Amino acid sequence: MKVVIADTSCLILFTNIQRLDVLEKLFTELWITKEVSDEYGLAIPSFIPIHEPVDSGRQEALMIMLDPGEASSIALAAENPGCQIIIDEKKGRRIALALGLDVTGTLGVLVEASSRGIIEADSNLIEKLDQSGFRLSAALKEKLYKAS
């Protein structure tokens, strides 16, 4: 069972397209931190437990460069070997990769969900993504379509 740790942007996007159920169907264990919960600002679905990193020093050091949600998510992921972290912001992704973490983004989650048949990557989904402010290049839209 692989633990997946989500940053706020993933929760916001799936909320905006009204498909939080995709996260529950795709991941056995999806964790967030209190900071991510606070940034999200809505009720957290019951299938997403809140976990905190043990090493607050690591999180404080990361907060020099990142927002609290990203810093806490990366700190938690660093303490859970073999987990995956969903993070979209470039600086956060670079830092997570530099720490040797298994990183994906919200688009990667969409592609995985589409390839498993959990969500249909059709023009309706692309339109919802566009309306939610999640911009995809033509190449990324094609990748998403091909995953279906």
Residuewise pLDDT in 10s, the chain (148 residues) = 689 999 999 999 999 989 999 999 999 999 999 999 999 999 999 999 999 999 888 999 999 999 999 999 999 999 999 999 999 999 999 999 999 999 999 888 988 998 899 998 777 877 787 788 777 777 777 777 676 6
- The crossing angle, in degrees rounded to 10, of helices 8-16 and 106-115 is 50
Is 132:17 a contact under the CB 8 Å cutoff? yes
Asked if residue 100 belongs to a domain, the reply is yes
| Count of domains observed in the chain | 1
pTM score: 0.89
Answer whether residue 75 is part of any domain. Answer: yes
135 in a domain, yes or no?
no
For residue 123, being part of any structural domain is answered with no
The answer to whether residue 112 sits within a structural domain is: no
Residues near 90 by beta carbon (within 8 Å), at least 6 away in sequence? none
- Is there a domain that residue 13 lies in? yes
Q: Which domain holds residue 52?
A: 3-106
- Tell me, yes or no, whether 116 lies in a domain: no
In a domain, 41, yes or no: yes
